[in-house]
Each structure stands twice: as structure tokens, then as C-alpha cells.
Chains A and B, each alone.
Chain A
Amino acid sequence: MESDGELLLRLRSGDERAFIGLVERYHEPMLRLAASFVPSRAIAEEVVQDTWLAVLRGLGGFEARSSLKTWLFSILVNQARKTGTREHRSIPVADPEPAVDPSRFDASGGWADPPERWIEVAQRRMEAGKLADRIRVWIDELPARQREVVLLRDVEGMSSEEVCAVLALSDGNQRVLLHRGRSRLRQLVEDEFRAAR
């Protein structure tokens, strides 16, 4: 696959197909992220449209001090925050939220109901193309701030520094949100395969 840098070079030389290539790569992830800031899908689509226009307009000034991806998502988050009216309904970072339901441990803190094994069956389902859509739904159901961090870190593969910059989070809060988001997803996968028995 062509790198973002190569796409950027072609885009700067006025290659329309490079723009479409970039949109193909990032439109859907951006839409998903925008949706966590604004109250409706329609508004999220507007935010992403505005973002693409801002990207084209800003292309000349982009100095590649950050990665292209970080730059794109930063523009998106700024656009979404300008538009976003939805209260960021989510659990404040300061509130405790255990990674695993406390009822699964005994009084001494050891597992009473240990994790069910699901890794092999999940891998097979993923390879058969039957798990990705479920995972997308689970990510969309995470509390907004956890979802934003999981999308950027784990789906997009950005570094913690990049994610902190894009979402204006401290390193500690980023890690707490990541921990909670990943822990919830693990639980949802376990529930899926537990139910399937």
C-alpha cells in the first residue's frame, strides 16, 4: 500500500486520484471519530466534509512536522469541537471503573469466575470475516472519550503522544481511557463467545 507520504506528494502536485485515495483511507475512520463529538450522523458527515475542505486548503501550509494522519485528525477534532454541541456524556476520568466486574473475584481478590478462553475461536471468526462488524459496533458503543482514544490508538495505530496532541489529553488520562476502553472491549468479546456456547 502506498504510504501517506507518497499520497501527500502526489496530492501536492495536483493529483486528484491521490485525494480520492486519501479519502478512501480516512473518511470512514474520521466519520466514526466525528460521531463521538456531535449529536447526529448527519452533523458528523458535515464535519467531515468541512474537514476535507480544510485539508485541501491547508495543504500548502502543512509542514510535515507531525504525521499526515495526526494533522488530518487534529483538523477533524477542531472542526468537530467548533460544531459539537453534544455534551460529552461519559464517565469522568476520575471516577473508578474497574477493568473487570468485581463480582468475578473472590473476597481475597483472586478470580472466582476466571476469563473464558476465546482467542482461537475469535481469530477464526475474524479470518472468516465474521467478527469485524461486531467489533465496530462494540467500539461505537463505548463511552465517547474511551471510543476516541481506542479509535486513534488501536484502530488507527497512532502513538500515545499523537493521541494526546489530537485529543488534548494528558498522558495519564489518555492511558486511563485506553485502559477502560480496551478492558470493555475484551469483556464484550468474551461475552460474545460465552453466549455462543
Chain B
Amino acid sequence: MRLLRGRDLVCQQAVELVTGYLEGTLSRAARRRFEAHLTGCPHCTEYLAQMRETISLTGRLAPEDLTPQQRDEFVDLYRRWQSEQQ
């Protein structure tokens, strides 16, 4: 175990900075420390890649299709609203 210099991040701190890093809200200094940590840490580099992948997987969820019955209900809703208009 090497001694920490005052400004070094440890892994347990780095994982808490991931969202700030991805959101672009870290201070310039915090960003530099985070990136310096990644350079020397394959596990945190993998962790960041997994967080990115998690976001990407979540973003690929497509809405489930309406059932034919739901579709009919919404056609009804629309027509009722239209007749309200007149």
C-alpha cells in the first residue's frame, strides 16, 4: 500500500465523482484529480465504462406497445374530446 499524497483520490472516492464527471459539473481541479486517478487505475476505468454502458442500456428501452384495447380507448377519448369542442 503506497502512502497517499494529500491530493490523490482513492477508488472509493472516485466512484462517487462519476456522475459529476459525466455531467460536467466537477471543478477543474476535481476533474483533473479524477482523470489522474483513472490513468493509474484499471478498475475505476472499467467502473466508469460500466456506468456509461448502464446509461446507454437504459436509453435503449423502447416504450411497450399499446394493446388493441388501449388503442380503442384512446380513439374514444379523442373523439369524446372532439365532440366536446363543438
Contacts and interface: CB of A to CB of B under 8 A. Distances in A.
A182 B63 contact: no
B78 A185 contact: no
Contact of B77 (A26, A49, A131): A49
B59 A100 contact: no
Contacts of B53: 119, 122-123, 189
A29 B13 contact: no
Interface residues of A, number: 52
User: Interface range on chain B: under 10, 10 to 19, 20 to 34, or 35 or more?
Assistant: 35 or more
Nearest to A132: B61
6 contacts: A24-B65, A28-B66, A100-B15, A109-B10, A115-B43, A117-B46
Given A182-B19, A190-B50, 9 more contacts: A16-B75, A19-B74, A23-B74, A57-B81, A109-B11, A115-B50, A119-B50, A178-B23, A186-B47
Interface of A: 14, 16, 19-20, 23-29, 49, 52-53, 56-57, 98-100, 102, 105, 108-111, 114-115, 117-119, 122-123, 126, 131-132, 135-136, 139, 150, 154-155, 157, 160, 175, 178-179, 182-183, 185-186, 189-190
